[in-house]
Chain A
Amino acid sequence: MYKVLVSEQLVPNIHLLNIEAAEIAKKALIGQFVVVMVDEVGERIPLSLADWDVEEGTVTLVVMQVGTSTRKLAALKSGDYILSIAGPSGLPSHLEKFGTVACIGGCYGIGAIIPIARSLKSLGNEVISIIEARSKNLLYWQDKLQQVSDELILATGDGSSGYKGWAYDPLKEMLERGKKIDIVFAHGCTFMMRLISEATRSFGVKTLVVLNPIMVDGTGMCGVCRVSVGGETKFACVDGPEFDGHKVDWDLLMARRTIYLEEEIRSLQRYECQQWYFETAKAMKAKV
């Protein structure tokens, strides 16, 4: 069992969990993830490591609520326990002095891009960070990211803060303007990573993306996370999760991510109903 030390909502739907996991913190490398199972009846889901602290013996996860498992995680309070966390898994990112780098984060990826930006900065790169959200109240950790970036660009779909548009818009503009960018790291939803990869392709700027297929064991045992990269089948959990965005078969990844859409909806509806029932029963009891 793993103790939750801090649980807080960063912005609507996005949650931070700081968890006691000393061994994982000691071994974690940038770009790696953990496989989490909330409770006895839970499923195993992969989550990127957003941060870790060797001295405190903790790891930090940024969780976006999209279904039953992430809803369950977000409902945990400080002092609660998580049944199992396995990792660190996956290959670490290869980071070095590239020159000028763009670090791009969206939704839960804003958290996970920070260790990458921090390391790239300390290696002497010029770091341009771009984060996106639908609206300004969904952006978080601008200050943290600012500290490890030479330039921070915000992009909001409704234009309520920073650039009106999505992360690929300012990136594309920069490249069109002739700004030299040596490498791009993108972490976020599949759609965003795909658009970023499309935006950089014609400029020949190497683009690394952190793929997010469905996983079960996370140790290469089952192959559910298989993706096609450069025409070859790879297992994202052991060969990735980071891959060259220009070589990824995005259509396949997007199709495979929807395998259980119906089941996920059913599961979430059931969970919500149960929660509603428990809450109502509790409230009734309190009244009586």
Chain B
Amino acid sequence: MEEKKTKARVRMREQDPLERARNFMEVPCGYTPDEAIEEANRCLTCLKPACRNGCPVEVDIPSFIKLIKDGKFIEAAWKVKEKNALPAVCGRVCPQEIQCESLCILGKKGEPVAVGNLERFAADYEAEKGGIKVPEKPKATGRKIAIIGSGPGGLTCASDLIKSGHRVTLFEALHKPGGVLVYGIPEFRLPKVIVEREVEYIKKLGVELRLNTVIGKLYTVDELLNEQGYDACFIVTGAGLPIFMGIPGENLNGIYSANEFLTRANLMKAYLFPEYDTPIKRGKKVAVFGGGNVAMDSARVALRLGAENVYLIYRRSEAEMPARKAEVHHAHEEGIEFVFLTNPTRFIDDDKGNVCGIECIKMELGEPDASGRRKPIPIKGSEFQIEIDVAIPALGTRANPLLTKTMTDLELNKRGYIAAEEGTGMTSKPGVFAGGDIVTGSATVILAMGAGRKAANAINEYLKWKYWDVSNLPKS
């Protein structure tokens, strides 16, 4: 076959880096209908589409792209929604480069089809044109399911189970639903109106949402199952317990866990203080520790709060950073200063209880460790100091024990995560399923959604047979 030259993908316009570094508006602007059709036309509509295998919730990618080609944008959105309840979110925050787009055949010779951008376009178009269609209510089964946590995993599981005809209640500890989508991912990556829109859709499907309800405090899982008549329970509470570094001076004023910093900025809208009541320190010189997406988000929020210098301090080199390439690129463009192969050793006090600097040590890379990444080793005598007024450790999170502490009959692994069977989310406790970060540790939005989908399937099976076999639980 003659080799055709593949066209380059249609770029999505973005806000200018220097301008956007000072506002909280979304960075990419989205496709116009013409741009979307142009990009969709690049899709070869493969007979055996590989892209679909790369999507954890199995969106029928070629079919929805075909609809965009034909200008049927709203129908395209409906097609996506058959499999994915949060398309506007996924189109924005999924790491498509390692999922659907990584398997696109066009990627072998050139650039893959921009599946994420197209998904985002279709979902936004549908919402803008008011084309949101609520599928017909299925026959009621009379079963009740409790989902604990309204993050991406909980929302996906809820929308799947409601489509099966069950009564679904989504319990959320905070005053807003969405989990990491509202408190973690900043406005400029994922506007909160979009999360609200997708949650509204899930409510329209018939899911009951109970906010301000801390399971483990207000109710225990046993109460839900035994007293309130829930037939099954899905725990998808995430891994929201911040890790601090354990170095001197860590409790000084001005040192935030990334969770606190982002919760204040995103959920509580502290960037709009004093119109909103929650305050946040607007540091002039800010240090963020870590190399993941949360570190990128924290650094870019600090910049938008008016910092002159934001240092991103990472103990390995750029190649080992777990953050998405696109985010690292955005951070570079906006002027975040990367300090690689460096680790903080202590925080310096201004004698009034505030942090005024950090002492760091240079590192060099040694042999690969268990994770396959080269282990950083401190270089003796290479200590140096950086002047800062705000520090944000973004070193990841662990399992929050608030809920699991109240369940003595639930098996946990050594690090406090719930032991759950892969593929079903079944735990050691009959009727209780678990998924997302509370099982796997910090991962991605789409993996949590995949876990929600699998748990929904497993819960449907369980409700038929009430069968419980814990022999496949991972051993701790």
Find chain B residues with CB under 8 A from A233 CB.
Answer: 244, 250-251
Verify if B173 is at the interface (C-beta below 8 Å from A): yes
Verify if A246 is at the interface (C-beta below 8 Å from B): no
Give bound CA distance, A220 to B263, whole Å: 13
CB within 8 Å for A222 and B214 given contacts A256-B251, A267-B274:
no
B277 touches A41 (CB 8 A): yes
B263 touches A87 (CB 8 A): no
A44 touches B241 (CB 8 A): no
Q: Which of A214-243 contact B (CB under 8 A)?
A: 216-217, 219-224, 226, 228, 233, 238
Q: Which of B269-325 contact A (CB under 8 A)?
A: 269, 273-279, 281
Contact of B276 among A41, A85, A264, A266 (CB under 8 A): A41
A217 touches B275 (CB 8 A): no
Find chain A residues with CB under 8 A from B173 CB.
Answer: 86, 217, 219
CB within 8 Å for A216 and B268 given contacts A86-B212, A233-B244:
yes
Verify if B428 is at the interface (C-beta below 8 Å from A): no
Give bound CA distance, A41 to B214, whole Å: 22
B214 touches A219 (CB 8 A): yes
Interface centre among A87, A88, A267, by most chain B C-beta atoms within 10 angstroms, is A267
B264 touches A216 (CB 8 A): yes
**Closest CB in chain A relative to B369 CB, distance in Å:** 27
Contact of A43 among B212, B257, B278 (CB under 8 A): B278
Find chain B residues with CB under 8 A from A84 CB.
Answer: 175, 211-212
Find chain B residues with CB under 8 A from A24 CB.
Answer: 218
Verify if A7 is at the interface (C-beta below 8 Å from B): no
CB within 8 Å for A219 and B277 given contacts A89-B214, A255-B253:
no
CB within 8 Å for A221 and B244 given contacts A255-B253, A255-B353, A256-B251:
no
Verify if A283 is at the interface (C-beta below 8 Å from B): no
A220 touches B402 (CB 8 A): yes
B251 touches A228 (CB 8 A): yes
Give bound CA distance, A233 to B353, whole Å: 16
Please encode chain B, from 160 to 184, with 1 for each CB lying within 8 Å of some chain A CB and 0 for all others: 0000000000000111000000000
- Determine the main DSSP class of B at the interface with A: loop
Contact of B277 among A27, A69, A238 (CB under 8 A): A69
B279 touches A85 (CB 8 A): no
Verify if B240 is at the interface (C-beta below 8 Å from A): yes
Verify if B58 is at the interface (C-beta below 8 Å from A): no
B402 touches A238 (CB 8 A): yes
A259 touches B214 (CB 8 A): no
Give bound CA distance, A256 to B251, whole Å: 8
CB within 8 Å for A267 and B218 given contacts A84-B212, A221-B259, A223-B260:
no
Verify if A180 is at the interface (C-beta below 8 Å from B): no
B277 touches A221 (CB 8 A): no
A83 touches B175 (CB 8 A): yes
Verify if A260 is at the interface (C-beta below 8 Å from B): yes
Find chain B residues with CB under 8 A from A37 CB.
Answer: 175
Find chain A residues with CB under 8 A from B268 CB.
Answer: 43-44, 216
Give bound CA distance, A259 to B279, whole Å: 10
Question: Chain B: which residue is nearest A27 at the CB level?
Answer: B218
Verify if A68 is at the interface (C-beta below 8 Å from B): yes
Please encode chain B, from 224 to 265, with 1 for each CB lying within 8 Å of some chain A CB and 0 for all others: 000000000000000011101000001111101101100110
Give bound CA distance, A222 to B268, whole Å: 13
Verify if A23 is at the interface (C-beta below 8 Å from B): yes
Question: Chain A: which residue is nearest B216 at the CB level?
Answer: A219
**Total count of chain B residues near the partner, CB < 8 A:** 40
Find chain A residues with CB under 8 A from B457 CB.
Answer: none
A219 touches B274 (CB 8 A): no
Verify if B217 is at the interface (C-beta below 8 Å from A): yes
Give bound CA distance, A259 to B214, whole Å: 28
Give bound CA distance, A226 to B242, whole Å: 11
A88 touches B218 (CB 8 A): yes
**Closest CB in chain B relative to A218 CB, distance in Å:** 8
B275 touches A41 (CB 8 A): yes
A216 touches B212 (CB 8 A): no
Give bound CA distance, A277 to B214, whole Å: 39
Give bound CA distance, A80 to B264, whole Å: 26
Contact of A222 among B212, B219, B257, B275 (CB under 8 A): B257
Give bound CA distance, A259 to B250, whole Å: 14
A220 touches B217 (CB 8 A): no
Please encode chain B, from 386 to 407, with 1 for each CB lying within 8 Å of some chain A CB and 0 for all others: 0000000000000011100000
Find chain B residues with CB under 8 A from A219 CB.
Answer: 173, 214, 240, 400, 402
Give bound CA distance, A288 to B210, whole Å: 46
CB within 8 Å for A42 and B277 given contacts A86-B173, A256-B251:
yes
Interface centre among B175, B212, B263, by most chain A C-beta atoms within 10 angstroms, is B212
A220 touches B400 (CB 8 A): yes
Find chain B residues with CB under 8 A from A68 CB.
Answer: 277
Give bound CA distance, A27 to B275, whole Å: 35
Find chain B residues with CB under 8 A from A238 CB.
Answer: 402
Find chain A residues with CB under 8 A from B276 CB.
Answer: 41-43
Verify if A263 is at the interface (C-beta below 8 Å from B): yes
A266 touches B274 (CB 8 A): yes
Given A37-B175, A44-B278, A216-B278, 5 new contacts (CB under 8 A): A43-B277, A86-B174, A87-B214, A255-B252, A266-B274
Sample (25) of A-B pairs whose CB atoms are under 8 Å apart: A27-B217, A27-B218, A41-B277, A42-B277, A43-B279, A44-B278, A68-B277, A69-B277, A83-B175, A86-B174, A86-B175, A86-B214, A88-B217, A216-B263, A219-B402, A220-B240, A222-B257, A222-B260, A224-B257, A224-B260, A233-B250, A255-B352, A258-B353, A267-B273, A270-B274
